[in-house]
Amino acid sequence: MGVELTTTRLEDAAKWAKQSMLEKGSNWGRKFSLFTYPFVTACCGMEFMSVAGPKYDLARFGAEFPRFSPRQSDLLMVVGTVTEKQGPAVKRVFDQMAEPKWVMAFGVCASSGGFYQNYHTMPGVDQVIPVDVYIPGCPPRPEQVLDGIIMLMDRIQSGRGHSQLRLKREELIANAGSEE
Amino acid sequence: MSQKVLDALQAKFPNAVERTASTHKDEVAWIKRDNLVEVAKWLRDDPAMAFDSPVFVTCIDWLDWNPVGVPPDARWDESKPRFTVAYQLRSLTHRHRIRLEINVPESDPRCPSLAELWAAFNWQERETFDMYGVRFDGHPDLRRIYLYEEFVGYPLRKDYPKEKRQPLVRRDDLPINPIKVEHKP
């Protein structure tokens, strides 16, 4: 047994196609209006300022508006080293963000802990929250960040973000329970 | 540079000063643990000394300290005290400085606090306690300053494993497991 993703009935197929078109449209809107929450903890913040500034201009990809409240943002950029003491704070910020939401690990420290191997550094922010895009580099070049943004936009368009997949899964589980 | 400080210190406290040294223009005096507070108080209040500027306090862990080239009797073994607490003082009035070092055994990691004499030592002694576990007797507020209360152990001790993590939270809801829906009968 499992969840049926396809159906043979014509009206169900039409409904599925309609939902899919709606999802495609909303994802198209989402990927061009990313509201970022910069969780800047360390020296990668300098590169974040560079990429958000006029020269590299993150605004070309629709992510120009940093919101300093997690409730108004849907892209969490973890910029820099995250310590174990900061773990509850990162998780709380992530939990406060509105669905659907995406996370970008900016730099090797946020991705894997970087060159730190000690008692206080978290080995990657994915230990506490799900990460969609990892950007390597110490710090990354602005071109790498823009490449990561484009990868994230592809991911949002195809509905493969972690929170999108989770929402889909929860919807499927709810529907499976109700049909029975 | 300030050898006269060491001479005055030895003349004033012949029983409290274990030995002195002067290397690289840096004067060091090893003080007995029980006499530290009176020595420090004299160093601060005596007009000829006038150590009015506290520089730092830190700790040295000598565990398994036997680098290449050091004679065998200078290497660390179990019979020697494991920790050394170092207070660096400076006088802006007379422009001399001195470092007080106190040997602290591992079985009884205690040291008198100088936070009452120089307020700037308050947080630094808390940091030393946080990282090395040396208890400072008489400290007004001795608790961890950088690490969280749940942390067990002292991370800058040489026997703390470098791979050991003490996480506060870990994720548990990532979509890494395949979807399994149980149909209710």
pLDDT in tens, B5-32: 888 898 999 899 988 988 888 899 999 9
pTM value? Answer: 0.80
Query: B173: distance to nearest CA of chain A, Å?
Result: 9
The number of beta carbons lying within 10 Å of the beta carbon of residue B61 is 21
**CATH ID of B3-137, from 3.30.460.80, 3.40.50.920, 3.40.50.2000, 1.10.1840.10:** 3.30.460.80
pLDDT in tens, A22-60: 888 888 899 898 999 999 999 999 999 999 888 998 888
A103 contacts chain B (CB < 8 A): no
A178 contacts chain B (CB < 8 A): no
Token output for B169: 């939270």
Q: Which fold has domain A32-179?
A: Rossmann fold (3.40.50)
The predicted pLDDT at position B73 comes to 83
pLDDT in tens, B152-181: 899 999 998 888 888 888 766 444 444 454
Q: Does the pLDDT of residue A93 top 50, yes or no?
A: yes
A88 contacts chain B (CB < 8 A): yes
Q: Nearest 5°: CA angle at A137, between A135 and A138?
A: 130
Contact A119 B170 (CB under 8 A): no
In whole angstroms, how far apart are CA B171 and each of A94, A118, A124, A136, B102? 12, 20, 12, 22, 45
The predicted pLDDT at position A71 comes to 92
Strand B17-23 versus strand B26-31 pairing type: antiparallel
The CA radius of gyration of chain A, in Å to the nearest whole number, is: 18
Measured between beta carbons, which residues in chain A are less than 8 angstroms from residue B148?
A: 84-85
Measured between beta carbons, which residues in chain A are less than 8 angstroms from residue B184?
A: 177, 180
Closest partner CB to B169 (pick from A87, A169, A173): A87
Instruction: State how far the Cα of A113 lies from the Cα of A56, in Å rounded to an integer.
Output: 26
The predicted pLDDT at position B43 comes to 92
Q: Which chain A residue has its CA at the smallest distance from B146's CA?
A: A85
**Testing the interface with B: which of A3, A4, A84, A163 to mutate, by most B Cβ within 10 A?**
A84
Instruction: State how far the Cα of B106 lies from the Cα of B108, in Å rounded to an integer.
Output: 5
**pLDDT, mean over chain B:** 87
The predicted pLDDT at position B1 comes to 59
Q: To the nearest whole percent, how much of chain A has pLDDT over 70? A: 87
The number of beta carbons lying within 10 Å of the beta carbon of residue A10 is 8
**Testing the interface with A: which of B145, B158, B165, B177 to mutate, by most A Cβ within 10 A?**
B165
Contact A173 B167 (CB under 8 A): no
Question: Would you place residue A142 in the very low, low, confident or very high pLDDT band (cuts 50, 70, 90)?
Answer: very high
Measured between beta carbons, which residues in chain A are less than 8 angstroms from residue B174?
A: 130, 162
Contact A119 B174 (CB under 8 A): no
The predicted pLDDT at position B173 comes to 47
The predicted pLDDT at position B176 comes to 47
DSSP H stretches of helix in chain B: 3-12, 36-45, 121-132
Contact B167 A118 (CB under 8 A): no
Q: Does the pLDDT of residue A1 top 70, yes or no?
A: no
Instruction: State how far the Cα of A25 lies from the Cα of A148, in Å rounded to an integer.
Output: 22
How many CB pairs (< 8 A) connect A and B? 65
Q: Does the pLDDT of residue B84 top 50, yes or no?
A: yes
